[in-house]
């Protein structure tokens, strides 16, 4: 996947063209363009967290994380997902137990974090993951409770 920057002006933003892209590819290209990896350097020090890790892994590839934040009420972790291929997806979010903690509960919520009537969110304890159904080109938001 390649895109050609048309204009790079930090004051006005950046634009890009991606030819012959499906929605999933365009979404990923936009994410990389708009939110490049930023590295913050520190001094060398010891610690209990592994040198490498992945906060959350999401499958299938047609589902992308749009938001991770602390819940407005309580100490839950809010994860908002977007389906980009136009097909309903059964998403699996696998959390790194070292970085996040042990997943104990998951509830599907609306955009203002109220529980939905028929939550599809389920905890899969064996691999510290959560499953949730994401509608075609739609959003699913889950509040995850973890125990450190």
Span 51-100, pLDDT tens digits: 677 889 999 989 999 889 999 999 999 999 999 889 999 999 999 998 88
DSSP output for 34-84:
HS------------SS-SS--SEEEESTTEEEEEEEE-SSSS-EEEEEEE-
pLDDT over 90 at 8, yes or no = no
In tens, the pLDDT along 90-147 reads: 999 999 998 889 999 999 999 999 999 999 999 999 999 999 999 999 999 999 999 9
Find the CATH number of the domain harbouring 86: 2.60.40.1180
Q: Which two tokens stand for residue 70?
A: 């602390």
Q: Is residue 46 assigned to a domain?
A: no
Q: Is residue 50 assigned to a domain?
A: no
Q: Is residue 60 assigned to a domain?
A: yes
Q: What is this structure's pTM?
A: 0.75
Q: What is the DSSP letter of 85?
A: S
Residue-level pLDDT at 126:
94
């Amino acid at each position: 996947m390649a895109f050609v920057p048309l204009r790079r002006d930090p004051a006005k933003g950046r634009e890009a063209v991606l030819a012959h892209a499906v929605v999933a590819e365009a979404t990923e290209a936009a994410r990389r363009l708009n939110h490049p990896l930023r590295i913050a350097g520190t001094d060398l020090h010891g610690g209990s967290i592994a040198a490498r890790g992945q906060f959350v892994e999401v499958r299938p590839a047609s589902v992308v994380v749009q938001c991770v934040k602390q819940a407005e009420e309580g100490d839950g972790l809010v994860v908002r997902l977007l389906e980009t291929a136009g097909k309903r997806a059964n998403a699996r979010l696998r959390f790194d137990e070292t970085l996040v903690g042990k997943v104990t509960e998951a509830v599907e919520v609306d955009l203002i974090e109220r529980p939905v009537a028929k939550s599809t969110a389920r905890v899969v304890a064996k691999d510290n993951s959560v499953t949730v159904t994401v509608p075609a080109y739609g959003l699913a938001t889950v509040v995850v409770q973890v125990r450190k």
